A and B are shown apart, each in its own frame.
Chain A
């Protein structure tokens, strides 16, 4: 009788161990797959955002030591300048942006909107204006 009870108990313990280990493995795998899937999805989303950014230089004028560029966003994603390069890197504190639709200052270029970007006029007469956006877009135009 005692032997019978210990055998049943042993079987139960074994079953619990097997079930527990299986559940742990499945949960671990679920967590790992979820993490990797999310990082991959994040990568694809960033690439999608980059694709949706389309900026066009409409006009520029240089006067009184400042350069005004008019940029139209014909994409579907807002573009936020993160780095601006002329003949040197222009600190973001030295630039200002005005939404031409609303007539207000802004920090990003919304879709279907014209923005006036004012920055210090570079010393050289010919240069390439490069705008690198926070969303991963890189745009360049030859000026001069």
Chain B
């Protein structure tokens, strides 16, 4: 009788220990998998951005002091986030960040209205959300 009780007790303690270790292993593995998934998502997002960056091509033309005409000649939709201008006479810089990115679909043209004037003698460029800069061709 005592023997049977002792054996049962040993089995119970062993089972408890194995379950506890199994639970610890599962918890650790779950944390690692969750973190790895986040990393894989970051890699995917970065690869997509780099791919889109390579597809961008914009033609920029300064229509007037406050208007810039942008035509998308690339193979992906571009998002213009800012206008960058340089005065060739003294290298002064003007950076105009747009309130919201302006999407320009493939082969379409958009006119960007600037909140402040940029003299037409300045070199003008547009900056896209994928980090490309496209200068006006003189």
Give a binary string over B5-34; 1 marks a CB under 8 Å from any A CB, 0 the rest.
010011001101100110011001001100
Q: Nearest Cβ distance between residue B93 and chain A, in whole angstroms?
A: 8
Q: Is the interface of B mostly helix, strand, loop or mixed?
A: helix
CB-contact partner of B38 in A22, A48, A61, under 8 A: A48
- Bound: A57/B10 CA distance, A: 68
User: Across the interface, which residues of A come within 8 angstroms of B49, CB to CB?
Assistant: 54, 74-75
Q: Nearest Cβ distance between residue B56 and chain A, in whole angstroms?
A: 11
Interfacial residues of chain B within 51-108, with CB under 8 A of chain A in the complex: 53, 81-82, 84, 86, 91, 93, 95, 97
Q: Is the CB of B95 within 8 A of A34?
A: no
A41 on the interface (CB 8 Å rule)? Answer: yes
CB-contact partner of A33 in B24, B43, B93, B133, under 8 A: B24
- 27 CB contacts below 8 A, A to B, read A11-B2, A11-B6, A22-B16, A29-B24, A30-B24, A33-B24, A33-B25, A34-B28, A41-B32, A44-B32, A44-B36, A45-B39, A48-B35, A51-B46, A56-B133, A58-B127, A58-B133, A59-B86, A61-B86, A61-B91, A74-B49, A74-B129, A76-B42, A101-B97, A112-B129, A114-B84, A114-B127
| Nearest 4 Cβ contacts at the A-B interface | A56-B131, A74-B131, A37-B28, A51-B42
Known: A33-B28, A70-B84. 13 other contacts (CB 8 A): A11-B2, A18-B10, A29-B24, A51-B39, A54-B50, A56-B131, A61-B86, A74-B129, A75-B49, A100-B97, A101-B97, A114-B95, A114-B97
